[in-house]
């Protein structure tokens, strides 16, 4: 039932790209990872300090005496510019003088003299690092010039917004879409029964102006407001019935058919055991829709804001079919019919999409921008350069800012960060020796210094956690398990029958090839070695290979990320249900399954939360996975963009955004008025 997109590292994984995988990963390597691995805390702290130092020098250098300051790295004796050659080893401070235009000739000479050394990969890497650091040094956030990263003058009119979407979407069909890039577009081109409040994510009326809930919480009756498709055809409750049936119908082959399992009979229909017509959804009349649920789920309405539940223009699909056109192409701009705030008017493959305001959207009066231009830039570094240049106003929800830029960006006034409903953890295969012993699994968990991991390695403002469910999620009280307890870890290790960690057979951790995952794995390898003495091997795997092995539980320990779809503890807890296809630990507990089942049938909210909490405690006592941290979503946004609210799912409807053409970058920081207008 969950979106497993793992936004944080999505661009590295799903849309694998050479730039992100290899070259830019190398380019972006911020500090020698072996330094990280050798001695976690002091070394990590030291490298953090060193980075800060570097950046500071960069800033100063940008302001005054650029040539000389840049010509030397921090802590290096000053030499006459032009006579020294830049040090090329990766351990040495960076020779940022490559930045300077007048220094071109010197750069060439330096390279000639060092021809032999430059050809080595690590030297290329260090040269590459020069480039990236140099980009940072010269763009944005110089105290005397600007508090912002790059230009603060829009390159377009006040009616327009330029954003990035991280790549080509797979489907633009609400019934078939399953990726972040598609979701971003569906949320802005279609309107469902309810919408999420842009800040709190509470369900608000959209096409349904009001709804009634039966006393048992299993039947919802939605009263629709009269509205139209973008081609002028009236939109009725029958369209919703068609769309929900189509979502679960196996013939549609939707990867998110599972979302329809909340409807009565949904699971059976998607398995092909029942006809789609038996689904618990019916139109009482043109503007009244009745929905019956399998369980009285308290998170039904939040879930209904998800794009899988947007309506599909049945008349368009039938019309295309009559004309002999492949109905899979209905979302192309030449055909598409939608009902949301924007409609697609231009789609240049892997180049850009252009969206114009849809005059037939029911709430069009509150849509501010006329046009939104969406780029499909996969490389986050490229997106950052475009942002600095002004070709993007917002790198978008689907662009993860690279960790090594964060120190720099965190000093910019246009960076904002919001907690995010995403967990990062390590699965443990609970059926192979030696990890079949829960005491050893708990020892491993307690030996991870999560605070150090987040502060020095992940560096994105994440929240360290040993829990699976974030504290405070929809009223949930988190378990608050200890973040780090090496003594208890050693005690458990001894209890498990290992006098020394070296007696434990070596453990292998797999992760998908990406710099961020690698650094985290190396830090954990080091922590387990230091605090427990356990030998750990790391193995990176290409994305598809990794997913296959994870799916088959063909590993000992495996990194994973999970993004919650709705603000309810169940979105995380269902991961460990024995029936959940995403449970890769081989751990199954009938008691746990029963607790979850009982919780979802529970009418009383606090009793339900208590049951869920008991389930989490039961599972984590057995430690089938090691939670590490909850993600955060740092966002860069041009200061002239208004109406942006942070929220836990990183959803930012374009209809609330606007451009402040009078923005003055030298003035006081802009104060954003509350964005969301309560829909009537």
Minimum distance of another protein from residue 590's CB (angstroms) = 21
Number of residues that bind another protein (CB under 8 A): 84
Applying CB under 8 A, among 63, 332, 537, 594 the residue interacting with another protein is 332
| CA neighbor of 74 nearest in space, from 48, 90, 50, 103 | 50
Please report whether residue 375 would count as binding another protein according to CB under 8 A.
Answer: yes
Q: Phi and psi dihedrals of 422, rounded to 5? A: -135, 135
Is 511 a binder of another protein (CB under 8 A)? no
Nearer to another protein, 273 or 503 (CB): 273
Is 126 a binding residue for another protein by CB under 8 A? The answer is no
Residues paired with 281 in a beta bridge:
291
Min dist. Cβ of residue 385 to another protein (A): 4
Q: Map the footprint of another protein across residues 211-250, applying CB under 8 A.
A: 250
- Find residue 625's DSSP bridge partners: 427
Residue 282 forms beta bridges with which residues?
Answer: 290
Per-residue mark of binding to another protein, 443-482 (x: CB under 8 A): ----------------------------------------
User: Which of 47, 236, 270, 526 is the binder for another protein (CB under 8 A)?
Assistant: 270
How wide is the angle at C-alpha 345 spanned by C-alphas 340 and 346, nearest 5°?
135
Whether 331 and 171 have beta carbons less than 8 Å apart is answered as: yes
Q: Compare residues 40 and 110 and give the one whose CB is closer to another protein.
A: 110
Residue of 240, 230, 234, 286 lying closest to 263 (CA atoms): 240
Q: Does 132 bind another protein (CB under 8 A)?
A: yes
Enumerate residues 248-267 that contact another protein by CB under 8 A: 250-255, 257-258
Report in angstroms how near the CB of residue 575 gets to another protein at its nearest. 11
CB atoms within 10 A of CB 122: 15
**Helical ranges in 215-344 per DSSP H:** 237-248, 266-270, 300-304, 314-322
Residue in the block written with tokens 């990890």: 435
Return the number of the residue (98 or 262) whose C-beta is nearest another protein: 98
Interface of this chain with another protein, residues 646 to 675, rule: CB under 8 A = none
- Please report the DSSP string for 449-491 in residue order: -HHHIIIIII-S--EE-S-SS-TTGGGPPP----S--HHHHHH
Question: Is 43 or 107 the residue whose CB approaches another protein more closely?
Answer: 107
Binding flags for another protein, 344-373, as an x/- string (CB under 8 A): ----xxxxx---------------------
Please list every residue from 576 through 615 that binds another protein, using CB under 8 A.
Answer: 580-582
Q: How far apart are CA 480 and CA 450, in angstroms?
A: 13
Q: Which CB sits closer to another protein, 399 or 658?
A: 399
Nearest approach, Cβ of 668 to another protein (angstroms)? 26
Which are the contacts of 257, defined by CB distance < 8 A and separation ≥ 6? 247, 248, 249, 250, 270
Nearest residue to 244 (alpha-carbon basis) of 222, 229, 227, 266: 266
Give the dihedral sign, CA 182/183/188/193. Answer: positive
Integer Cα distance of 88 and 128 in angstroms: 11
Residues 152-171 that bind another protein (CB under 8 A): 168, 170-171
Q: Which is nearer to another protein, 83 or 349 (CB)?
A: 349
Return the residue of 272, 480, 497, 505 that touches another protein, per CB under 8 A: 272
Binder of another protein out of 76, 548, 578, 606 (CB under 8 A): 548
Nearer to another protein, 443 or 628 (CB): 628
**Smallest distance from another protein to CB 380, Å:** 11
CB 191 within 8 A of CB 339: yes
CB of 649 to another protein, least distance (A): 16
Q: What are phi and psi of 337, to 5 degrees?
A: -125, 130
State which of positions 95-114 bind another protein (CB under 8 A). Answer: 98-99, 101, 108, 111-112
**CB of 517 vs another protein, minimal distance in Å:** 13
Tokens standing for 37? 């691995």
Pick the stretch among 42-50, 118-126, 275-283, 471-479 that binds another protein (CB under 8 A): 118-126
**By CB under 8 A, what part of segment 377-406 binds another protein?**
377-379, 381-382, 385-386, 388-389, 391
Which residue blocks in 258-375 are alpha helix, DSSP H?
266-270, 300-304, 314-322
Q: Does 63 bind another protein (CB under 8 A)?
A: no
Among residues 271, 433, 451, 605, which is the contact residue for another protein, using CB under 8 A?
A: 271
What are 78's two structure tokens? 């000053």
Give the β-pairing of 536-541 and 507-512.
parallel
Least distance in Å: CB of 8 to another protein?
A: 12
Distance in Å, CB of 267 to another protein, minimum: 9
Distance between CA atoms of residues 469 and 630, nearest Å:
9
Nearer to another protein, 39 or 131 (CB): 131
Q: Which of 58, 87, 95, 150 binds another protein (CB under 8 A)?
A: 150
Site for another protein in 12-41 (CB under 8 A): 13-19, 21, 23-24, 27
Task: State how far the Cα of 538 lies from the Cα of 557, in Å rounded to an integer.
Answer: 10
C-alpha separations of 253 from 241, 246, 328, 475 in Å: 18, 9, 12, 36
Shortest Cβ distance from residue 134 to another protein (Å)? Answer: 6
Residues 312-331 within binding reach of another protein (CB under 8 A): 328-329, 331
7 burial type by CB count under 10 A (0-12 exposed, 13-18 middle, 19+ buried): buried
Q: Which is nearer to another protein, 335 or 411 (CB)?
A: 335
Of 552 and 671, which CB lies nearer to another protein in the complex structure? 552
> Please, what is the angle between helix 515-532 and helix 40-63, to 10°?
140
CA distance 553 to 27: 33
Given 46, 128, 494, 610, the residue binding another protein (CB under 8 A): 128
Token pair 């030298």 is found at: 666
The span from the CA of 133 to the CA of 126, in Å, is 10
Instruction: Report d(CA 445, CA 532) in Å as an integer.
Output: 11
Shortest Å, Cβ 396 to another protein: 13
């Amino acid at each position: 039932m969950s979106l497993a997109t793992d936004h944080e590292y999505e661009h590295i994984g799903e849309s694998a790209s050479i730039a992100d995988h290899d070259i830019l990963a190398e380019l972006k390597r911020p500090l020698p990872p072996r330094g990280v691995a050798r001695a976690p805390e002091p070394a990590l702290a030291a490298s953090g300090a060193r980075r800060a130092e570097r950046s500071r020098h960069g800033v100063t250098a940008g302001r005054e005496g650029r040539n000389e300051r840049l010509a030397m790295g921090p802590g290096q004796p000053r030499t006459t510019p032009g006579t020294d050659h830049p040090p090329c080893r990766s351990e040495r401070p960076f020779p940022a003088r490559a930045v300077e235009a007048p220094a071109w000739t010197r750069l060439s000479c330096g390279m000639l003299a060092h021809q032999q050394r430059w050809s080595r990969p690590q030297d290329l890497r260090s040269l590459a690092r020069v480039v990236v650091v140099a980009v940072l040094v010269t763009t944005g956030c110089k105290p005397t010039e600007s508090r912002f990263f790059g230009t603060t003058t829009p390159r377009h009119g006040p009616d327009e917004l330029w954003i990035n979407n991280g790549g080509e979407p797979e489907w633009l069909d609400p019934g078939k879409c399953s990726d972040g890039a598609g979701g971003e577009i569906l949320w802005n081109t279609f309107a469902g029964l309810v919408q999420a409040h842009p800040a709190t994510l509470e369900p608000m009326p959209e096409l349904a102006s009001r709804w009634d809930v039966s006393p048992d919480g299993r039947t919802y009756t939605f009263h629709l407001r009269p509205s139209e498709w973008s081609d002028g055809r009236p939109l009725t409750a029958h369209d919703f019935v068609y769309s929900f049936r189509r979502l679960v119908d196996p013939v549609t082959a939707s990867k998110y058919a599972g979302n329809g399992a909340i409807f009565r009979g949904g699971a059976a229909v998607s398995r092909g055991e029942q006809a789609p017509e038996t689904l618990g959804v019916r139109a009482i009349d043109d503007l009244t829709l009745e929905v019956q649920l399998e369980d009285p789920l308290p998170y039904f309405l939040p879930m209904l804001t998800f794009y899988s539940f947007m309506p599909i223009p049945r008349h368009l699909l039938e019309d295309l079919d009559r004309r002999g056109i492949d109905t899979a192409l209905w979302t192309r701009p030449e055909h598409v019919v939608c009902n949301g705030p924007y409609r697609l008017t231009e789609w240049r493959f892997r180049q850009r999409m252009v969206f114009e305001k849809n005059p037939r959207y029911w709430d069009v009066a509150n849509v501010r921008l006329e046009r939104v231009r969406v780029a499909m830039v996969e490389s986050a570094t490229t997106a950052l350069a475009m942002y600095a240049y002004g070709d993007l106003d917002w790198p978008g929800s689907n662009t993860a800012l690279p960790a090594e830029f964060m120190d720099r960006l965190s000093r910019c006034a246009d960076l904002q960060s919001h907690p995010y409903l995403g967990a990062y953890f390590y699965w443990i295969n609970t059926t192979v020796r030696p990890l079949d012993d829960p005491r050893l699994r708990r020892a491993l968990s307690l030996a991870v210094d999560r605070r150090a991991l987040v502060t020095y390695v992940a560096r994105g403002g994440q929240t360290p956690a040993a829990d699976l469910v974030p504290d405070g999620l929809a009223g949930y009280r988190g378990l608050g398990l200890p973040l780090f307890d090496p003594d208890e870890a050693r005690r458990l290790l001894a209890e498990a029958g290992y006098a020394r960690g070296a007696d434990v057979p070596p453990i292998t951790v797999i992760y998908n090839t990406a710099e961020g995952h690698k650094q985290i794995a190396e830090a954990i390898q080091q922590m387990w070695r230091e605090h427990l003495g356990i030998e750990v091997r790391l193995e990176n795997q290409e994305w598809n290979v990794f997913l296959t092995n994870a799916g088959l539980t063909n590993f000992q320990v495996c990194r994973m990320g999970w993004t919650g779809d709705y603000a309810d503890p169940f979105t995380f807890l269902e991961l460990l249900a024995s029936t959940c296809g995403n449970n890769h630990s081989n751990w199954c507990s009938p008691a746990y399954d029963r607790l979850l089942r009982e919780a979802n049938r529970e009418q009383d909210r606090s009793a339900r939360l208590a049951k869920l909490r008991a389930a989490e405690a039961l599972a984590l006592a057995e430690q089938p996975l090691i939670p590490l941290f909850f993600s955060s979503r740092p966002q860069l946004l041009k200061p002239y963009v208004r109406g942006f609210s942070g929220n836990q799912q990183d959803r930012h409807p374009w209809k609330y955004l606007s451009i402040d053409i009078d923005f003055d970058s030298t003035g006081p920081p802009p104060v954003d008025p509350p964005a969301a207008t309560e829909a009537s």
